[in-house]
Amino acid sequence: MVKARVGLAQINPTVGDLEGNKRKILRFIDEARRKNVDMVVFPELAITGYPPKDLLFRKRFVEKNRLVLDEIIGYSSEITVVVGFVDVGEAVEPVNRYDPSAFPGLPKLFNAAAVVDDKELVGVQHKKYLPSYDVFDEKRYFTPAETCEVFRVGDTRLGVTICEDIWVDHGPVESLARKGAELIVNISASPFYVGKTGVRARIVSKRAKENNVPLVYVNMVGGQDDLVFDGRSLVSNPFGELVAVGGLCEEELVVVDPWTRKKVTLPENILEEVFKVLTLGIRDYVHKNGFERVVIGISGGIDSALTAVLAVEALGSENVVGVSMPSHFTPRTSLEDAEKLAKNLGIKLKKISIKKIFESYMEVLSQEFAGTGFGVTEENIQARIRGNILMALSNKFGYLVVSTGNKSEMAVGYTTLYGDMAGGLAAISDVPKTMVYKLVEYINQKKGGIVPETIIKKEPSAELREGQKDTDTLPPYSILDPILHEYIENNLEEEEIISKGYNPDTVKKVVRMVDRNEYKRKQAPIGIKITPKAFGFGRRMPITNRYTPNSP
């Protein structure tokens, strides 16, 4: 065995952009050559982007992915390349040949890694363990590998695993080590959630140490719809010591000797990670979908402040437009806070009063509403007027509307359908309210008080009626968020949450609010996942649902 210099190419591909992804891969191969790298390793499905979802049912898409691989093979002179792609097997008869929705006649597909050396395809390894939990649905598309093979690359016996394969005890890593692999790589597309970087590092170190083999883990970077791949590629030597860590949310080529004893430390700062992940998620969603500028309703509250800061960080102040939309119930201090924030961020702030529009609504509906008092309907009309204004600006000028609701509000339905929920991206919809405050404090420490203290200290309010406070409807967020965490992310039953010491009536109220508002969340804009269980593809609850914790 000859010890090799390995390059970890944590790149940011775009799903479906086969040509663009190819050009990026070739650029990184060039960089690897310049840095005298022997082997360069790319992420899972680097050619197609991850997850390609039902694009995999498009035969031509899969065929073109293989043509791109052929071009990469032809470009790989005097270097070894490991790259993720979609491999094709024989055509299979569908289980249901009578229903056209079964897409009869499609071939078997494999989530695969190509091992290429000096313009030759040495071999292909298929993914063995196909995840079908949370945001993953690989069993819908792929067939699992039957075996794990060791490939001879130069003087090195190389084992290749793909993402989930490394998470399984006594799985492919152990099998490859027993077959004589001297170096094992894992190509991944592992999306971020809080705490996952540490979990990955422990798994990589554990697998390397228990099998006495260096392990190279290459993760993808970039935003793809609701997911953000954070990079943080890792290398462990055979002793379970981390010897390389890739950047957070950054494309780069990490060059390392996997056998070195020069240890490194994995940086872990939750607030920094969340800030960078949200920033990258916004930037990639905006740019990859062909937008340049965004528009945000700036209320003078902390949620819109955080959203605006993230948008400016992602896109630049020149590409963020704020809109202040005061009503009869907007205090002067909120207008001043919105103006201070906009000035600090260097963004344009438009002021469009909704007072006359609201009065017009009330006049038009006066006969229908006769004999009724001011209530939630009138509150929601104000929110919908604001949503309509933002969407009008979007239509006219091509802005993407970024909505500002947080996870706590989305969970219990403390938000207005077609009002403050309106938009193309719900940037902080997976950020609990208590974390919103922590993030703003982190930002102010980092950026010198860019968010006015008056925004941070004011009591949360929707400002849709006189003297309104969030606590009129909800428990304090310091109580609400832990209950939501137990119910949504830990999947605990009502009585299990109560047994942890929470007030039974409060728990029952919160659970009921979460369950009753599924219909709202189904109509919400896509949001950026930062927790283990977000309100998106990974949580699939029915809208029509009569089950309750006390159901017989």
Active centre residues (catalytic): 44, 127, 163
Asked if 46 contacts 13 with a C-beta cutoff of 8 angstroms, the reply is yes
b vs e for 110-133, b when ≥16 Cβ sit within 10 Å of the residue's Cβ?
bbbbbbbbeeeebbbbbbbbbeee
Contacts of 218 (CB under 8 A, 6+ apart): 8, 9, 10, 41, 42, 43, 185, 186, 187, 188, 233
| Amino acid (one-letter) located at 341 | L
The answer to whether the peptide bond before residue 51 is cis (omega within 30 degrees of 0) is yes
Q: How far apart are CA 503 and CA 324, in angstroms?
A: 38
In the DSSP assignment, the letter for residue 527 is B
CB atoms within 10 A of CB 495: 12
Q: What value, to the nearest 5°, has the Cα angle with vertex 175 and ends 170 and 178?
A: 115
CA atoms within 13 A on the CB side of 12: 23
Tokens representing 407 are 């996870």
Dist. CA 479–CA 456, nearest whole Å: 19
213's tokens: 């083999």
What is the rounded distance in angstroms from the CA atom of residue 296 to the CA atom of residue 303? 11
Q: Is residue 256 within a helix (H) or strand (E), and if so which, with residue range?
A: strand 252-256
* C-alpha span between 552 and 549 (Å, rounded): 9
What does the alpha-carbon distance between residue 349 and residue 352 come to, in Å, rounded to a whole number? 10
Whole-number Å distance between alpha carbons of 295 and 157? 54
Distance from C-alpha of 497 to C-alpha of 508, rounded to nearest angstrom? 10
Phi/psi at 398 (nearest 5 deg)? 80, 20
> Distance (Å, rounded) from C-alpha 218 to C-alpha 252?
11
Residue type, 545: N
- What one-character DSSP code corresponds to residue 293? -
Is the separation of the CB atoms in 333 and 454 below 8 Å?
yes
Task: Give CA separation, 487 vs 218, 411, 498, 531, 546, in Å.
Answer: 33, 10, 11, 13, 18
Joined together, the tokens standing for residue 178 give 């027993």
> Is the four-CA dihedral 151, 153, 158, 160 of positive or negative sign?
negative
**Residue 428, C-beta contacts closer than 8 angstroms, at least 6 positions apart:** 278, 303, 306, 307, 310, 404, 405, 406, 407, 436, 527, 528
